[in-house]
């Protein structure tokens, strides 16, 4: 199901804009006309790339707001407050696009729509997993419990992202600072300094010649190098957006020595949380596998989960279906096998998720502890080489004088 943005006029000839989920532009137009809207434009909504890699760690602000709002909505409903009043109360605390989305949901509920159906109309804010869980809660009469489970899942997922982001923040800062300092030294400091020294010496030392060559290259052809770098980045990004390119890139990430196992465990923790939450809410395992596939950004793991779901739907046991995919760890496969046999699948998946959370936290801390001294040493070597290239001709010029 795709997401379409639309421009339309309501019955009062007022302009209405938004997004709607539909299988085709024609179906989107039909859904909008059923609401009494005069459709002016329907186009596919191009949000953030669906194949953004593992390094896309910063969550959207609306996702964090929905996580806290789901818990607050559960508390208000438990206290006996009607749905419309609860949505009004939560909307009053929010700002920006999330407040607008909540008010739109409130209006749809006031018009007689269910909460899940109202959330489904804003797929840019409320993900598919949230919609299905709310729908299950409404049908089973356990909406408050389901919202609690959803909020807990979102918070755990956010904590996992925060751990990885914290581990990578300092090395990323060193890389950005190092590149910026290098460009500044080579283009603004070194050219006038080397020009004065070159007039006093017949031949410059080889470290100085190497630095001078890099400096001349940046000064004379810096804009060309910038354009080439930008073109390479754009080309790689475009290749990563294609199915084949994303599959190759994500598959290569899983094979990296240190980062690969951490990526696998991070995604497996997320999948285990999703499947446990959905199974506990009464959703069948085949559907839970399909929804869990949508929760990961890694297209290799996503395709493997889709294939496993199809095999389970065809009558295979889940452990055998996962094993045939060839990408899941033996521990995860064994957990599914034993969990199904003992009837404790949700409990064992929760334990697996918690265990992988701890392993990812430990691995990210170790990776950060390893990257920090390595980056510092590389920066020290570079700065030392530049200082050596600067000091040597100064000393030789002093000897000449």
Question: Residue 160: which pLDDT band, with cuts at 50, 70 and 90?
Answer: low
Give me the pLDDT at residue 3, please. 61
Looking at 100-109, 196-205, 295-304, 340-349, which range is the least confident one? 196-205
Q: Are 330 and 130 in contact (CB under 8 A)?
A: no
**CA gap 128, 132 in Å, rounded:** 6
Most confident of 201-215, 275-289, 338-352: 338-352
Q: What contacts 321, CB < 8 A, 6 or more positions away?
A: 307, 308, 309, 311, 312
Domain boundary among 127, 144, 169: 127
Same domain, 320 and 389: yes
Query: Residue 283: phi, psi to the nearest 5?
Result: -80, 135
Q: Are 325 and 302 in contact (CB under 8 A)?
A: no
Give me the pLDDT at residue 22, please. 66
Give me the pLDDT at residue 268, please. 85
Residue keyed to tokens 């004088």: 401
Q: Is residue 37 part of a domain?
A: yes
Q: Are 6 and 110 in contact (CB under 8 A)?
A: no
Same domain, 173 and 30: no
Mean pLDDT of the region 190-219? 77
Label residues 355-389 b or e (16+ Cβ within 10 Å = b): bbbebbbebbeebbeebeeebeeebeeeeeebeeb
Residue keyed to tokens 């040597």: 392
Same domain, 38 and 65: no
Q: Is residue 154 part of a domain?
A: no
Same domain, 36 and 68: no
Same domain, 74 and 18: no
**Please, how many CA atoms are within 13 Å of residue 264, restricted to the half-sphere of its CB?**
19
Question: Residue 137: which pLDDT band, with cuts at 50, 70 and 90?
Answer: confident
Same domain, 113 and 39: no
Q: Are 51 and 13 in contact (CB under 8 A)?
A: no
Q: Please, what is the Cα angle at 174 between 378 and 55, to 5 degrees?
A: 110
Residue keyed to tokens 């938004």: 18
Structural domain range at position 91: 61-127
Does 151 score more than 50 pLDDT? yes
Q: Is residue 136 part of a domain?
A: no
Question: Residue 1: which pLDDT band, with cuts at 50, 70 and 90?
Answer: very low
Q: Render pLDDT for 261-278 as a digit per residue (tens, 0 to 9).
A: 888 888 888 788 778 877
Same domain, 70 and 22: no
Domain boundary among 81, 110, 127: 127
Give me the pLDDT at residue 382, please. 80
38-44 and 2-9 strand pairing = antiparallel
Q: What is the mean pLDDT of the chain?
A: 78
Overall number of domains in the chain: 3
Give me the pLDDT at residue 239, please. 78
Nearest to 147 by CA among 157, 159, 138, 156: 138
Q: Is residue 138 part of a domain?
A: no
Same domain, 86 and 194: no
Question: Residue 231: which pLDDT band, with cuts at 50, 70 and 90?
Answer: very high
Give me the pLDDT at residue 47, please. 46
Does 346 score more than 80 pLDDT? yes
Q: Is residue 291 part of a domain?
A: yes
Q: Are 278 and 132 in contact (CB under 8 A)?
A: yes
Q: What is the CATH number of the domain that holds 265?
A: 1.20.81.30
- In the beta sheet, which residues pair with residue 5? 19, 43
Give me the pLDDT at residue 2, please. 54
Residues of the chain above pLDDT 90, percent: 1
Q: Is residue 396 part of a domain?
A: yes
Same domain, 214 and 107: no
Crossing angle of the two packed helices 259-280 and 285-293, in degrees rounded to 10: 140
Using a 10 angstrom Cβ sphere, with 0-12 exposed, 13-18 middle and 19 or more buried, the burial of residue 329 is middle
Residue keyed to tokens 């007689």: 112
Lookup: tokens for 311: 């095999």
Same domain, 66 and 37: no
CA-to-CA separations, 59 to 153, 165, 173, 366, 393, in angstroms, rounded: 15, 11, 19, 23, 51
What single string gives the DSSP state of each residue in 101-130? Answer: HHHHHHHHHHTT--HHHHHHT-TTTS-HHH
Q: Is residue 334 part of a domain?
A: yes
Q: How far does CA 184 lie from the centroid of its chain? A: 32
Give me the pLDDT at residue 372, please. 76
Same domain, 168 and 310: yes
Q: Is residue 56 part of a domain?
A: no
Q: Render pLDDT for 38-86 as a digit per residue (tens, 0 to 9).
A: 888 887 655 443 333 333 444 456 666 787 888 888 888 888 888 888 8
Mean pLDDT of the region 302-319? 83
Nearest to 121 by CA among 40, 37, 48, 57: 37
Same domain, 72 and 194: no
């Amino acid at each position: 199901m795709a997401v379409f943005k639309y421009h339309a006029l309501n019955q009062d000839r007022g302009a209405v804009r938004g997004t709607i989920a539909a299988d085709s532009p024609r179906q989107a137009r039909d859904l909008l006309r059923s609401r009494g809207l005069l459709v002016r434009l329907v186009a596919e909504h191009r949000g953030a790339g669906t194949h953004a890699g593992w390094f896309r760690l910063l969550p959207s602000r609306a996702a964090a707001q929905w996580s806290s709002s789901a818990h607050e909505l559960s508390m208000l409903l438990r206290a006996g407050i009607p749905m419309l009043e609860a949505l009004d109360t939560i909307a009053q605390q929010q700002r920006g696009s999330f407040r607008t989305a909540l008010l739109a949901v409130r209006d749809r509920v006031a018009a007689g729509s269910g909460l899940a159906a109202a959330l489904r109309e804003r797929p840019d804010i409320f993900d598919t997993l949230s919609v299905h869980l709310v729908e299950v809660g409404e049908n089973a009469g356990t909406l408050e419990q389901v919202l609690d489970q959803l909020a807990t899942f979102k918070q755990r997922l956010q904590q996992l992202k925060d751990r990885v982001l914290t581990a990578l923040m300092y090395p990323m800062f060193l890389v950005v600072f190092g590149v910026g300092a290098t460009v500044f030294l080579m283009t603004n400091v070194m050219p006038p300094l080397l020009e004065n020294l070159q007039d006093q010496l017949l031949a410059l030392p080889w470290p100085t010649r190497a630095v001078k060559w890099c400096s001349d290259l940046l000064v004379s052809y810096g804009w060309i190098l910038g354009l080439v770098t930008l073109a390479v980045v754009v080309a790689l990004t475009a290749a990563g957006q294609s199915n084949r390119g994303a599959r190759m890139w994500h598959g290569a990430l899983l094979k990296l020595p240190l980062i690969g196992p951490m990526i696998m465990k991070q995604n497996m923790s997320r999948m285990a949380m999703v499947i446990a939450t959905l199974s506990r809410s009464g959703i069948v395992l085949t559907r839970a596998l399909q929804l869990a596939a949508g929760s990961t950004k890694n297209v290799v793991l996503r395709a493997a989960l889709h294939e496993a779901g199809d095999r389970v739907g065809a009558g295979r046991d889940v452990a055998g279906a996962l094993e045939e995919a060839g990408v899941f760890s033996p521990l995860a496969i064994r957990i599914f096998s034993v969990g199904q046999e003992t009837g404790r699948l949700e409990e064992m998946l929760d334990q697996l998720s918690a265990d992988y959370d701890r392993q990812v936290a430990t691995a990210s801390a170790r990776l950060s502890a390893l990257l920090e001294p390595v980056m510092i040493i590389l920066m020290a070597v570079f700065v030392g080489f530049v200082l050596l290239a600067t000091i040597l001709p100064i000393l030789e010029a002093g000897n000449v004088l």
